[in-house]
Chain A
């Protein structure tokens, strides 16, 4: 396996993209909760609700940092490890990514910095508007990335003869819808799980977790069916011929390449497995949502500990579904990097086996460490509650390591 640089490069990219997507889904899922939480806190001038925003915001920022790191690794890997893709389709595949990095990510990172450092230093509406920019650009990022990804799967608007064809590509729009609602599902599960953990311990300062479990469960219930509807509707595309088929390879050559790959290739097996994991996880989430709705109607949501513990472990389902879904989506296209136009083997940068192995080993280790550390930090801060998180308000007990006094609050 180590002798096959193509397999190594694919595994490395799959690992990078898979890890990155876990952080992305968490970001997308939690951002609307934060935004509406802060809007509500700002409208009411409620310090307790604002403390809740600090708590969820702390988890968001810890997660965001690792999302940026893995995203940058992915971008540069795409740029240097898959030159064939950029040489042939750079202008079509790369343009949405250019917009994503320059427009969306640039703004998202800058305004997240403003949001984190502007706490207690800005007017409350100004501060809220920074978070609004962060939320909007997070979703804009997802949109542009899926426009690029949708082109690989269903290459319409080839060579940008028609820019709108790239943007209205059903493979991009349906996937964006699916990613959006499934991320909300994930956000709801995480919010409900963390809230349930604290409620089960009889710990609910300022009603943060009571509101959390209610809104989390409401979102899970609302998002479960749209997730599967938008996911399943993408199968319609499988019946249609790829828009640009025949441009680089003739029908005979395409058939030969696909036959050589075969339906029993390792990647294809992984793909079926990913699909099964995704569907099974979703079914279990629907079960949790259904039981949750009954528990809510019976008035046990804040008291029944067995249900709290069901919720605590349920976010695992959303994460396995996310990974399974991506494995399925990306293996489903193989052996093509761009359907019927460019094979994955031709998309890869020629690199010596040694360099490919070194790169794969390095990033596998780095990602293992990063993902583990982030997971443990998220669990730790989630358990500590609103006074122990990374964005917790400074108190008189906060240590001043250099012996200085806190500055006068501005505004």
Chain B
């Protein structure tokens, strides 16, 4: 983290977890939150414009890793990426892109299934990658608890997003069951998150399972428990947008700070090439992201491209 490029890489990863947690998490919770065809359409309409703008964060993260941190990238568990994360992504995206291309119930059911299964695989894959980096590639009970924590936090982020976005438009007489169910779920998931964090912290004391630098990991766990405590009952779903964003940012942050990753600075010529090309684009990237977020703040009520 000594280097600005390492800071940028960490920011991209954290940004991805905070933003994409919304659509990945909501996709995971679809069977629980959306019971009717209309509910499912509204849920996909909440995810769909949003995922296009959030998944580019992961692509940018991987691109930056390939370009500036080949050594970090060579530490990624190839089998997890190729057999869990990537198929999950493929399945979820295919479901979202293809869902409204046909009107038959069987087609939509197949696409919804692809979205749900893909979202779970993607969440588990992300959790496994972080766990692998934290344990230095030694699988064990700690891997399970680290992954479980990440998966629960992603689901929590999705539930908080759902509580906000699944509220139907005002002129469609008040059926907000999905949003209410999502709001209730934030408490359950936050409590589950506290338990998972405690288990993960305990597992860190197992021989060879802990992160290399303990202080940031312990601080991360403490903040996580505090944030989840707020989300799990003190104020409930009211603050869940903020608390879930804070919570889901912690696993990638703890990984970046405490996994002892090799981060030698890229050669100055490489940094100059990447820096001079990208810096002028950063404002455009920011404008585009904020604009897309504002545009899709309310899911469209008319059928659109995705739902």
* A81 at the B interface (CB under 8 A): yes
> Contacts of B86 on A, CB cut-off 8 Å?
72-73, 76-77
* A239 at the B interface (CB under 8 A): no
* A256 at the B interface (CB under 8 A): no
B142 → A minimal CB distance (Å):
23
Knowing A101-B63, A113-B53, the reply to whether A355 touches B70 (Cβ < 8 A) is no
Knowing A100-B63, A110-B289, A394-B302, the reply to whether A404 touches B82 (Cβ < 8 A) is no
* B100 at the A interface (CB under 8 A): yes
Knowing A99-B277, A401-B38, the reply to whether A366 touches B87 (Cβ < 8 A) is yes
* A102 at the B interface (CB under 8 A): yes
Main secondary structure of the interface of A (DSSP, over half): helix
A109 touches B305 (CB 8 A): no
Residues in B45-64 with C-beta less than 8 Å from chain A: 49, 52-53, 55-56, 59-60, 62-64
B298 → A minimal CB distance (Å):
8
B83 touches A91 (CB 8 A): no
Chain B interface: which of A160-168, A242-250, A277-285? A160-168
* B187 at the A interface (CB under 8 A): no
Residues in B16-69 with C-beta less than 8 Å from chain A: 37-38, 41-42, 49, 52-53, 55-56, 59-60, 62-68
> Contacts of B230 on A, CB cut-off 8 Å?
none
Residue-wise interface mask of B (90-102) relative to A, using a CB-CB cutoff of 8 A (1 in contact, 0 not): 1001100110110
- The residue on B at minimum CB distance from A122 is B295
> Contacts of B291 on A, CB cut-off 8 Å?
114
Other-chain contact of B74, A86, A97, A117 (Cβ < 8 Å): A86
* B278 at the A interface (CB under 8 A): yes
A401 touches B284 (CB 8 A): no
A355 to B86, CA, bound (A): 14
- The residue on A at minimum CB distance from B85 is A76
B82 touches A102 (CB 8 A): no
> Contacts of A203 on B, CB cut-off 8 Å?
none
> Contacts of A79 on B, CB cut-off 8 Å?
62, 65-66, 73, 76, 81
* B222 at the A interface (CB under 8 A): no
* B270 at the A interface (CB under 8 A): yes
A66 to B277, CA, bound (A): 27
- The residue on B at minimum CB distance from A406 is B302
B67 touches A405 (CB 8 A): no
* B214 at the A interface (CB under 8 A): no
* B274 at the A interface (CB under 8 A): yes
> Contacts of B98 on A, CB cut-off 8 Å?
65, 373, 377
A75 touches B59 (CB 8 A): yes
Residue-wise interface mask of B (256-299) relative to A, using a CB-CB cutoff of 8 A (1 in contact, 0 not): 00000000001101101110011001001100110110011000
A109 to B285, CA, bound (A): 10
B49 touches A117 (CB 8 A): yes
B68 touches A101 (CB 8 A): no
A358 to B267, CA, bound (A): 37
> Contacts of B106 on A, CB cut-off 8 Å?
none
A110 touches B56 (CB 8 A): yes
Other-chain contact of A80, B64, B82, B171, B277 (Cβ < 8 Å): B82
- The residue on B at minimum CB distance from A99 is B277
* A383 at the B interface (CB under 8 A): no
Residue-wise interface mask of A (62-95) relative to B, using a CB-CB cutoff of 8 A (1 in contact, 0 not): 1001101100110111111101001100111011
* A293 at the B interface (CB under 8 A): no
A99 touches B76 (CB 8 A): no
A398 to B100, CA, bound (A): 13
* A201 at the B interface (CB under 8 A): no
Interface size, B (range): 35 or more
* B223 at the A interface (CB under 8 A): no
* A299 at the B interface (CB under 8 A): no
B66 touches A98 (CB 8 A): yes
B185 → A minimal CB distance (Å):
21
* B303 at the A interface (CB under 8 A): yes
> Contacts of B171 on A, CB cut-off 8 Å?
404-405
A375 → B minimal CB distance (Å):
12
B272 touches A163 (CB 8 A): yes
A249 → B minimal CB distance (Å):
21
A406 to B266, CA, bound (A): 52
* A116 at the B interface (CB under 8 A): yes
> Contacts of B38 on A, CB cut-off 8 Å?
401-403
* A139 at the B interface (CB under 8 A): no
B87 touches A362 (CB 8 A): yes
A167 to B273, CA, bound (A): 10
* A391 at the B interface (CB under 8 A): yes
* B301 at the A interface (CB under 8 A): yes
A355 → B minimal CB distance (Å):
5
A370 to B269, CA, bound (A): 40
> Contacts of B202 on A, CB cut-off 8 Å?
none
> Contacts of A362 on B, CB cut-off 8 Å?
83, 87
A86 touches B273 (CB 8 A): no
* B158 at the A interface (CB under 8 A): no
A358 touches B83 (CB 8 A): yes
Residue-wise interface mask of A (152-189) relative to B, using a CB-CB cutoff of 8 A (1 in contact, 0 not): 00000001111100110000000000000000000000
* A390 at the B interface (CB under 8 A): yes
A166 to B304, CA, bound (A): 43
- The residue on A at minimum CB distance from B97 is A65
* B234 at the A interface (CB under 8 A): no
A98 to B267, CA, bound (A): 14
Knowing A94-B68, A111-B288, A355-B79, the reply to whether A159 touches B59 (Cβ < 8 A) is no
A90 touches B284 (CB 8 A): no
Other-chain contact of A99, B274, B301, B305 (Cβ < 8 Å): B274
A338 to B87, CA, bound (A): 29
* A40 at the B interface (CB under 8 A): no
List 8 A-B residue pairs with CB atoms under 8 Å apart, sorted by A's residue number. Answer: A94-B68, A102-B278, A105-B56, A107-B285, A114-B292, A117-B49, A133-B284, A370-B90
Interface residues of B (CB under 8 A from A): 37-38, 41-42, 49, 52-53, 55-56, 59-60, 62-68, 70-71, 73-74, 76, 78-79, 81-83, 85-87, 89-90, 93-94, 97-98, 100-101, 168-169, 171-172, 266-267, 269-270, 272-274, 277-278, 281, 284-285, 288-289, 291-292, 295-296, 300-305
8 other contacts beyond A94-B67, A100-B63, A400-B302, with CB at 8 A cut-off? A65-B93, A76-B85, A76-B86, A83-B78, A95-B270, A116-B305, A362-B83, A407-B301
4 closest A-B pairs by CB: A98-B67, A101-B63, A90-B70, A65-B97
